[in-house]
Amino acid sequence: MKAKALVIWGTGSGVGKSFLTAGLLRHFRRLGLRVAPFKAQNMSNHARAVAGGEMASAQWVQAQAAGVPPEPRMNPVLLKPMGERASQVILLGQVSPELSRLSWAERRAHLDGVVQEALAGLLQDYELVVIEGAGSPVERNLWPDLPNLKVAEWAKAKALLVADVDQGGSLAALYGTWALLGEHRPRLVGFILNKFRGDLELLKPAYRLLQDWTGVPVLGTLPMLGLELPEEDGFRHRPRPGPGPKVAVLRYPYASNLDEFWPLSELAHLVHARTPKEAEGAWLLILPGSRLPSEDLPWLRDFLSLIQNHLAQNKPVLAVCGGAEMLSEPILDEEGVEKRGLFPGLGLLPFQVRMEKAKTVFGRRVRLEGLTGFWGSLNGLQVEGYEIHHGQGLPLLHQEGSLLATWLHGLLENPGVQRALFGREARGLEEALQELADALERHLDLKALHRALGLFGKAKPLPSMPQSPDPPQGPLASRSPDPHDPRPGLVLLLGGAKSGKSRHAQNLAGPFATLIATAEARDEEMAERIARHRAERPPTWEILEEPLDLAGALTKARYPTVVVDCLTLWVSNLLEKGLDPLEEAKRFLEALFAPRSNEALPHSGKRVIAVSNEVGMGIVPAHPLARRYRDLLGEVNALFAREAEEVYLLVAGRALRL
């Protein structure tokens, strides 16, 4: 079955298309969809080594968000700039010298078929493909536009249009782009405003204006998020200086793979130094990769005395790939792989580098040994990284005093390296992607997007959702409840108030689950709280409201995954009715693990995810009934924990497995 497709267009470059695409991919993954990223043509010197060659870092990150293996089909054409008018063309992960020699106009005829085939393959293999556009879709001088309009046409995609509020002029940019889209306007299902700071009420009148002018709704506004992720375009990126020692990354004109240093924004006072003065006082100097070392060498010579003084003080320097090449002796490029000639290096490393046509591209896992001084703390670590280079003649790792030179990209992305050098770990990529998806789900009307894509059929307001909803429609319709998948059993989620228990339960349960809700709207504040929880749930969930009889509700549950939210209120409800919570808990567990009729399985076939507050670690309540409630809830939690396959404690949104 051919997948649905959504294309993310922007009013220009740098407005947040890459991050929005990653966040949506994670959101759709949470709903249980098999999703994949796609960008037909990317221009970037940030790339990652994957099975089959290399691909742009942005699509690599998006594949992580989607939870699928990254592959070159997701970025069939990667252009790596080499000077003002030339690019190295990476076609389906491999260097194409022939296409690299052609002009843009001559090259175009050779790309359409490759892009269309890659897209068709992804549409066949996945349920939803989220396509990132390039730049703006309304550069009319470039029409027919391959990465924006052609791919949208081939995929029959719906489209979102995003603008950067922080740059200013977002209202005009959205309206102007819509106006210039002409016959392509019907694809648009919504506008998104990005990177907003301030009072949202001042911006909201623009929603009505845009909808009145265009007929296209605004699906929401994303605030300026304090998230660091690997960047698609390092030359637009301005790192947020964090606490810690000053670390200077030397930003020569053709610096590449700057995205690998994204964790440093959390671990150090990171600066991208374009002059020696900006790098002065740094604790660590980093020479990143270079797409064109022969052109970056004259620029780097101005830093030679700074680097020498830094090393003379026994302060650390890390030189990666092209950075290490430039610190060596001559770079020889006899065949013009990058630029023909002999280029004298800075002479701080005793090696000669020769450029070869064959490109080294693969992932690496290395055990670090034999390092001394500052770098000695890395000995014994198993690290992962990747190589992408034409140059040959350097060891994989080499130390000269406090200078560490390596072909290995990604060294500082390893948590063990971060702990050894900085004493702590940066927030991992997985956590950042979760926070990004959380932000999208909090600030955008994603249910309107679901309806526009036809993913869940006709969406119904959650408060009025029937207890036995109609089967889902659209691409998910083929997923019938299967008692053997997911695995039956019990999972218990404990934690304090607002610790993230309900959200974690939702992530574990997926898009098709039955919720047994124990809360009753006895006052206005509780009614608002219940409504808020309802709005955050997937529209495909079945809702059973049952404050007392959990065992009875379990037998009515339509789906094999059942979320009980929460035991805390359930115990309170039972006490009010004079019922014994421990006896009721045993009755529920017996119902959960009771054999099904005419089945060999010794249990109900349900997977229950139970949510409960941990209330026993605070002060002793002054009232006898409150003390009895606290003790009973603790006993109920312990009873559930004894029978559970997995128990998690949620603290500040983090799930700790017990």
**What are the residue numbers of the active site?**
321, 409
Nearest to 126 by CA among 475, 501, 477, 556: 475
- Is residue 637 within 8 A of residue 648, CB to CB? The reply is no
What is the C-alpha separation between 160 and 334, in angstroms, rounded?
A: 48
Q: Give helix then strand counts, H and E, for the chain.
A: 22, 31
Q: Which structure tokens are listed for 66?
A: 């989607």
CA distances, 232 to each of 7, 70, 197, 384, 499 (Å):
17, 15, 23, 21, 33
Q: Which structure tokens are listed for 579?
A: 């019922």
What is the C-alpha separation between 268 and 256, in angstroms, rounded?
A: 21
Nearest to 62 by CA among 42, 83, 92, 89: 42
- Is residue 251 within 8 A of residue 273, CB to CB? The reply is yes
Taking every pair of C-alpha atoms in the chain, what is the biggest distance, in angstroms? 90
Nearest to 162 by CA among 22, 3, 5: 22
What is the C-alpha separation between 18 and 212, in angstroms, rounded?
A: 28
- Is residue 433 within 8 A of residue 60, CB to CB? The reply is no
Residues 6+ apart with CB under 8 A from 360: 387, 388, 389, 390, 392, 407
Nearest to 61 by CA among 86, 24, 6: 24
What is the C-alpha separation between 92 and 239, in angstroms, rounded?
A: 31
Neighbours of 453 (CB within 10 A): 18
3-state secondary structure 590-632: HHHHCCCCCCCCCCCCCEEEEEEECCCCCCCCCCHHHHHHHHH
DSSP 399-460: EETTEEEES-BTGGGSHHHHHHHHSSPPPPHHHHHHHHHHHHHHHB-HHHHHHHHTSSSS--
